[in-house]
Structure 1
């Protein structure tokens, strides 16, 4: 009686007081696919469930209990060997968004008010005895559609040309799904569902609700369409963590945004990884890169805390987009990384390329090559046990198109020239070995350079030199590429056509080759 009176007194005298409550339910194998826990269906033990910060495992009957609040999302961390059910748009169904008051009043609508917390929150999973430990995933950077025309460019210029095979199990878009107009979330979804794969989405800085004063509310419309912006799942021996790494408003001045994590997000990562075997590959997906050399783009202490959390995991990979270029970073002990081997961070090229710029091709789609000379496209990550390789697929090209070779088309015989052979190996870094030879001659090593890709430079300045306007929009100015090599071009050879053959040995030990031709002609007197 005394306790009852005390609670009554507190509720009356302290407005807004929230009495602690728990979310409970069962994670179960949905044998008949109806989404309901039937009497003949059993709970699944040792499944991780999270409220966005805390993570618990289900008991032997598949039951869980998590602390709840008046604004939280509970989500299931899919174990290997099971699938999430998906909705009609191929979006995984793995969460419940509890928001009794709904989202704040915003320009773009958020989550509608929910009812009281259900007595039981049960979640179905579908058993998949055929799930492989060797599988692939599609990785899209920045679809970033600003209008319906660009939605069409995204569909016709990329999605319709995706090379899909039975080994590809799902896809991830690394943020900037749209370009500030959140009404385009649904058109984006209608395009992406045509790939007919489960699809996971990351929050980008152009996917935010900008009319908020707290970072926790900046993803309200994203939550309406996609659920939590921080979540995790497993396939084979790979543990995937998806994170919102955009602090908005920027805590330094309440203007713009900054790369980083809130404390509750870092706690989520730490609590989540307590339940992951140390030998598994950890793949983190977020939008803003962990580091950019020319600017204070990411809060240092958050990156350092992340590295501290990951220190006991020898196999890690992180993915970002945002920059509309492609780049490989390797963090070592000088950068605060604790592992024996460097941490690989892959800043993925974008499906929108250079923001849908450039000439229109025969199908009316912008060429949209990126400023570092990377053509628009997407990545394919191939997982084998706890290891991986990565391929970059250029939109509309064969899977063998790995590099762009540039050289003069014609040079004068026996005349010295400052022109050279350039190779832009799109997935490259200075750690790769690039060689070339002429006409089956001996191989010579090419020099890694950080310079402007001459193929892209020529493409851009064609717009400035034309006497007639092109269809489309002028591309962005070039920036120095992080995956470019150079060599001298031989002129003291016989007159006629000569073949340049380039050989790349990449970071995974794979060999790729490509050829290019140029002509040697006599010098006019």
Structure 2
């Protein structure tokens, strides 16, 4: 056997000197930074069994807390995969510090600055962790697409979203699901300064409006993002949940078409496979990226289906999974089953999160100086909360500048003629609704039993009215921008407004039972009047 293998090995060594020379070994220690000084002191505990990755391979520290991993000499990022029960150090702007970028010559010259030259590989790349209370019940903030195109829009974001969350103690950390800014990467800094006011560690997903469009390869399109936020693909543990953050923006495309498309690279799949080897099957696996893995209606092919199938194959042994995205500027749940190559009996849930900037900060500004920015499906702008207990979860959505119990909008008449042939209709838009949601109604003091409302795929009347206001105006308002056209909403219900009741005011009670079994109620008031003769 040795006589056969030795010539092959010698041949590989002689034929691939460039490959061998490009490989170096990164080494270091993962430790508990008791005094939070960022230095490995002699009395500090070294941590055994902590995962460290180069974005492809994943290794674990030995009994002395030491790791060793091969990297590409010219361009590499090494990061620690935080275990549960620990916190990551953060900088003065609450950005988690868990990675080291090794780019000896720095990023190529681009319109927006990338990574500065890092020089030779350090002798040791150590990762400090901070001890924390193990929490199996916690909540996470989810932001979709802040996407400011100007500093004024950063101010909108700051006033409308950040201001009501400053100093909150209800959440463990936050994640922005891409499109952090709108093409102007100089706005990364004012955005960071704004979101840091919340006071939580904040993770970031790479979006298609966060890239260097003048880059000539996909590997270089994230240089400014990387310099600002760190690696676009990484993972960490919190409680009994394992979070994987992925760059799913492929630019330029590889199929001859222009622009970008959603998908993953072979290197990312290698990382996911190696990462999941250290994730137990009883954990909740949450994967966050920017472009959704379903095809939004009317958008064409926006994600490489073969990549989704490959991801599902890697997740098939995990009974508790959730994927998150943004990008569409609507809010939608999508359920994948066997016809989508999902390998488990229970559907896989993908949550496409409503955005913080709504409909791109459109509409006429209100008394606060902020546009109403209602999304095309009738979802107001706001943010989501992922509430985790063990390996299970629920999701909430908070509308900006509204009470916490504002979960749905209603549209119906103020008055209806008694016994009219052409009855009016009541619409209910439950912002977190889907095919597993039940919406019922009854007339207070008139009906004892609840009756179902019909789930419909129609345009939300609120959105239609806003657009008509702009299109029928004689002149444009002094401030504001025309909103986008309405689309069919995936979370809209309607029913006829009863008019065969006594004259006077009536109250319609509304009851929503959501996919998590939670029940919410609301009311709609209207008046029945004498019909015109």
Normalised to the residue count of structure 1, the TM-score between the two structures is 0.96
C-alpha distance in 2 between matches for 1:14 and 1:273 = 32
Instruction: Summarize the Cα distance change of 1:364–1:98 in structure 2 as closer, same or farther, 3 Å threshold.
Output: same
Question: Match for residue 111 of structure 2?
Answer: 107
Assess if the C-alpha contact under 8 Å between 2:373 and 2:381 holds in 1.
Answer: yes
The alpha carbon displacement at 1:266 in A equals 0.9
Counterparts of 1:230 and 1:354, CA distance in 2:
28
CA distance in 2, matches of 1:307, 1:418: 47
- Going from structure 1 to structure 2, the CA distance change for 1:468 and 1:20 (only over 3 Å counts) comes to closer
Q: Is the counterpart of residue 482 in structure 1 residue 490 in structure 2?
A: yes
1:434 aligned onto 2:442: no
Shift of 1:315: 0.2
- Structure 2 counterpart of 1:325, from 322, 330, 347: 330
How do 1:118-129 and structure 2 match up within 5 A?
A: 118-128=122-132
Given that 1:314 and 1:340 are in contact with CA atoms closer than 8 Å, whether structure 2 keeps it comes out as: no
Give the match's secondary structure for 2:21: coil
State the 1:469 CA deviation. Answer: 3.1
Comparing 461-470 and 419-428, the one that deviates more: 461-470
What is the CA deviation profile of residues 456-510 of structure 1, one whole-angstrom value per residue up to 9, with x for unaligned ones? 1112211122345333111111000000011111111111211111101000000
- TM-score, with length taken from structure 2: 0.94
Structure 1 vs Structure 2 CA RMSD: 1.7
Counterpart CA distance in 2 for 1:466 and 1:234 is: 53
Q: CA deviation at 1:15?
A: 7.4
| Aligned positions of 1:14-413 closer than 5 A | 18-69=21-72, 70-128=74-132, 130-162=133-165, 165-253=168-256, 255-292=258-295, 293-294=297-298, 295-413=300-418
Distance 1:496 1:68 in 2: 76
In structure 1, distance between residues paired with 2:22 and 2:158: 48
* Number of residues of Structure 1 aligned to a counterpart in Structure 2: 516
* Equivalent position of 1:3 in the other structure: none
Name the CA distance, whole Å, in 1 between partners of 2:20 and 2:186.
35
4+ runs deviating over 4 angstroms: 13-17
Deviation at 1:519, TM superposition (A): 1.4
Confirm whether residue 492 of structure 1 aligns to residue 500 of structure 2.
yes
Q: Name 1:456's counterpart in structure 2.
A: 463
Farther-moved stretch of structure 1 (218-227 vs 130-139): 130-139
Which consecutive unaligned segments of at least 5 residues does structure 1 have? 1-5
- Tell me the alpha carbon deviations over residues 358-416 of structure 1, each in whole angstroms, 9 at most, x when there is no partner: 12111100110000000000001111011000000000111111101111121111102
Decide whether aligned partners of structure 1 residues 468 and 211 sit closer, same or farther in structure 2, where only a CA change above 3 A counts: closer
Mapped to 1, the partners of 2:20 and 2:318 lie a distance apart of: 41
SS at structure 1 position matched to 2:318: coil
* Unaligned stretches of 5+ residues in structure 2: 1-9
Provide, for residues 310-369 of structure 1, a one-character-per-residue CA deviation record: whole Å limited to 9, x for no partner. Answer: 000000000000000000001011111001211000000000000000121111001100
Query: 2:423–2:499: 8 Å Cα contact kept in structure 1?
Result: no
CA distance in structure 1 between the partners assigned to 2:166 and 2:30 by the alignment: 34
Distance in 2 (alpha carbons) for counterparts of 1:463 and 1:338: 48
CA distance in structure 1 between the partners assigned to 2:21 and 2:307 by the alignment: 30
Describe the SS at the equivalent of 2:490: coil
Q: Deviations over 1:136-188 (max 9, x none)?
A: 00000000000011000000111112387433110000000000000100011
Q: Tell me the distance in 2 between the aligned counterparts of 1:487 and 1:15.
A: 70
Give the Cα separation in 1 of the matches to 2:113 and 2:153.
22
How far apart in 1 are the matches of 2:43 and 2:303?
50
